[in-house]
Amino acid sequence: MLQIIIRKTVQFYNSKNRWWLPLICGILFSLCLPPFNHEFHPLFSLFPFLSFVVLIPLLGFASQKSFRRAVLHTYLFSFAVSLSQYYWIAFDKAEGLWHLILIGLVLICAVVGFFYLIAGLLFRVIYKKLRRFYIFLYPMVWVLIDYGRSLGDISFPWGFLGYSLTPLLPLAQIASVTGVWGLTFLILLGNMLFWELGICYYKGNNRFQKTIHLSVFALGLILISVWGGSRMKKEPKDSDTAIVSLLQSNLDQLSWGKNSLDSAFNITENLFFQASRKSPDLMIGPESALLCYIDKQPSLRNRVLSWTSSTGIPFVFGSLQWNKAPDNSYYDYLVYNTAFLVKPNESFLESYFKIKLVPFSEAIPFEGLFPLLSRVNLGEADFQRGTDYTVFSIDKMKAAPFICYEIIYPGFVQKRLKNGANLIVNITNDGWFGKSSGPFQHATMSRLRSIENGVQMVRCANSGISMHVDHFGRVVEKTGLYERTVLTSTCLLKSPDTFYSKWGDWIVYLFAIITVCTSVRVVVKSKFRKTRTS
């Protein structure tokens, strides 16, 4: 029966130029990603497992005989995959800039789609050159492509396939050894094995061996899950704890500049004193909680200082900071997206300047290399990049602050936590993106950082999802979207202690070495054959 379905599907696709089929397959790609998981609704419990077959259409489009058709249909699939993941960017209806945002969405989908296209065409080559080892090599190559997406000024490492397995927490514990890269490798390996089995069904070959391979793979996933489940039962002993309150203020994004600063202060103040009744050790507000240059405005700064002094509770929140630019700079002032720490009875505001800036939204890429680009105006915020791996010291807490999408960089988080941190603090503002998949994807990616490093995380988002995640990635408590509330919970203060936290992206470097050695072997072997035949 399955053989008939596969053959009929391929025949239907090949009978005409059905260019729309890759688009549909690409749109369906995101069904394996948040919010389609069991934590959103029980009906979605099995959706994460779709990741093990979701790339089969890409492999089929890329490996067809006509190279021109393969390129076109692979790219159509890739563009649709990107659009299904990033469509929520269009929800950002900043006044007077929506046309630029829509153009930016198309460009992002085009660029990320190009990465998927490269991955598809590499499969076409590897599949022909390495008829057996390709099953293992291609997942490594895919991981290297994903890693490349996290590098440079135009990096945007959003939505790696490995994140689809985050809700399956026992299985996701392998990230404590390999990072998200190991989860992605497992998913690609699963796709390779299902692809092999599907080819056997299509050609009518003996399927016994391929079924055995797939069964061994499934057994491997079960064993990893058993190990992960046992790992989650081992709670650390004699660790300090701290009570943390998250202030989800739910400020209206589209009304900034219309007396919104007064509203922001009043709302935050009310939430602050509401939370103080539970006597937390730390209060946390979201990114852009008090959108002003608070350290340069004495009356506003003193107001916040009075909150902490009257309650004796320190406060971390997002705001802006400017410093005088050096001589011969293209700017008069250097502006930073900033996380501030205010301690009781202190007039000094400790600050962390955001290091990973959103390309074209917060800064123009490569501006450091080509200062003339600072004259380009695409409606970006023109923020400067910070340089210090700041850790806020608050009694027993050593909190590493991460602003917005900094949390989706695995290696960046791992390196910063080495500075003695025992708590991840992520402040963000996902209120621009409506009730779309964007906030769910962002929250899921941040959870994996706790699994990778074995450090608990408190995440405060302006409009949600705010949450407390333990060191195994379990959500202890969380808020919904677009609600004004306070979330208070007890956090375990635990330093990084996983294999990944010590060795970082070791598996990426291993895959790079194997890929290079295999490529050299293939080239040398090919030249040797040509020499013998000549």
Give the chain's residues under pLDDT 70.
Answer: 92-98, 253-259, 329, 364-381, 530, 532-534
**Is 175 within 8 Å of 228 (Cβ atoms)?**
no
What whole-number distance in Å separates Cα of residue 48 and Cα of residue 32? 5
Length of the chain: 534
Alpha helix ranges (H) inside 321-431: 410-416
Going by C-alpha positions, the residue among 445, 516, 454, 411 that lies closest to residue 147 is 411
Backbone φ/ψ region at 512: left (φ over 0), alpha (ψ -120 to 50), beta? alpha
Angle between helices 2-15 and 180-203 (to 10 degrees): 90
Structure tokens at 483: 């609600």
What whole-number distance in Å separates Cα of residue 403 and Cα of residue 36? 25
Structure tokens at 14: 């090949």
Domain boundaries, the chain: 2-233, 240-503
**Is 104 within 8 Å of 97 (Cβ atoms)?**
no
What whole-number distance in Å separates Cα of residue 300 and Cα of residue 290? 9
Terminal-to-terminal C-alpha distance of the chain: 49
Instruction: Give the strand pairing for 349-353 and 392-394.
Output: unpaired
What whole-number distance in Å separates Cα of residue 211 and Cα of residue 231? 30
User: What is the CB neighbour count within 10 angstroms for residue 488?
Assistant: 17
pLDDT value, residue 132: 80
pTM > 0.85: yes
What whole-number distance in Å separates Cα of residue 77 and Cα of residue 58? 7
Q: In what order do the strands lie in the sheet with 423-428?
A: 392-394, 397-403, 423-428, 457-461, 467-469, 475-478
**Residue 231, C-beta contacts closer than 8 angstroms, at least 6 positions apart:** 173, 176, 472
What whole-number distance in Å separates Cα of residue 231 and Cα of residue 265? 43
Structure tokens at 117: 């296209």
240-503 maps to which CATH number?
A: 3.60.110.10
- The backbone torsions φ and ψ at residue 317, rounded to the nearest 5 degrees and listed phi first, read -155, 165
Task: Work out the widest C-alpha separation in the chain, in whole angstroms.
Answer: 88
pLDDT value, residue 373: 47
pLDDT value, residue 370: 47
Buried b / exposed e across 447-459, counting CB within 10 Å, b at 16+?
A: bbbbbbbbbbbbb
pLDDT value, residue 311: 96
Structure tokens at 342: 């205010």
**Residue 11, C-beta contacts closer than 8 angstroms, at least 6 positions apart:** none
Structure tokens at 396: 């027993």
What whole-number distance in Å separates Cα of residue 318 and Cα of residue 338? 6
Structure tokens at 273: 């004193």
**Is 245 within 8 Å of 282 (Cβ atoms)?**
yes
Q: Tell me how far CA of residue 353 lies from CA of 79, 319, 367, 514, 531, in angstroms.
A: 34, 10, 17, 38, 59
Which residue type is seen at 192?
Answer: M
pLDDT value, residue 98: 67
Buried b / exposed e across 44-79, counting CB within 10 Å, b at 16+?
A: beebbbbbbbbbebbbbbbbeeeeeebbbbbbbbbb
Positive/negative CA dihedral, 300, 303, 305, 308: negative
**Is 227 within 8 Å of 177 (Cβ atoms)?**
no
pLDDT value, residue 371: 52
Q: Tell me how far CA of residue 194 lies from CA of 17, 63, 213, 345, in angstroms.
A: 26, 15, 10, 62
Q: In what order do the strands lie in the sheet with 315-324?
A: 349-353, 333-342, 315-324, 282-284, 240-248, 485-493
